[in-house]
Amino acid sequence: MDIRIASVEEMKKLWEYSDSPTYNYFVDGIKTGNIEFWAIENKEENRLIGELYIFWNSEDSDEADGVNRAYLCAFRIEENFRGCGLASKLMKSVLDRIKKKGFSEVTIGVDNDNYQKLKGMYNSWGFNKFIKKQHYDYHYLDSNNNPVYFEEPTDLYLNKLF
């Protein structure tokens, strides 16, 4: 398994060239340098089996401010590769990258699907300070390119890196 920064072309393939507003938003963000796409590659099968995105800046400055605070989202590992430490290795690599870029804080959202499990995992990686509940996902866009509103809010947590 190889953990690394992946290309926009690899992201397009992983997302099956969906051409949705969210897909296009991520592609544009990677191309402009606001988003960094990290992946786990299964070298034996020559394919990506995990992903995590760093946003250096966000429409919501509580998430990322482009100077001191970055935001993580779309953290996914294929189900049959979970439970063997890959998520921890990916998170460690990404947190190291954020520190090297000079950022002192990073946030992540915890949603309601598997909330307790995710919260426990994120807490173990230092995401311990609750920031706020948020109903809008600024990184998931509807057909009009507007942030999607969710009835059930996501909890935003902070990790102070230094």
Mean pLDDT of 70-87: 95
In 3D space, the residue among 113, 51, 108 whose CA is nearest the CA of residue 78 turns out to be: 51
pTM confidence score: 0.96
Q: Is the pLDDT of residue 64 over 90?
A: yes
Q: Is the pLDDT of residue 113 over 90?
A: no
Mean pLDDT of 109-115: 88
Report the C-alpha gap between 106 and 101 in whole angstroms. 12
In the numeric block, the tokens 């990290």 are attached to 38
Q: What are phi and psi of 86, to 5 degrees?
A: -65, -40
First vs last Cα of the chain: how many Å apart?
29
In tens, the pLDDT along 4-51 reads 999 999 999 999 999 999 999 999 999 999 999 999 999 999 999 999
CATH number for the domain running over 2-160: 3.40.630.30
Where do the domains of the chain lie?
Answer: 2-160
Position 112 scores a pLDDT of 78
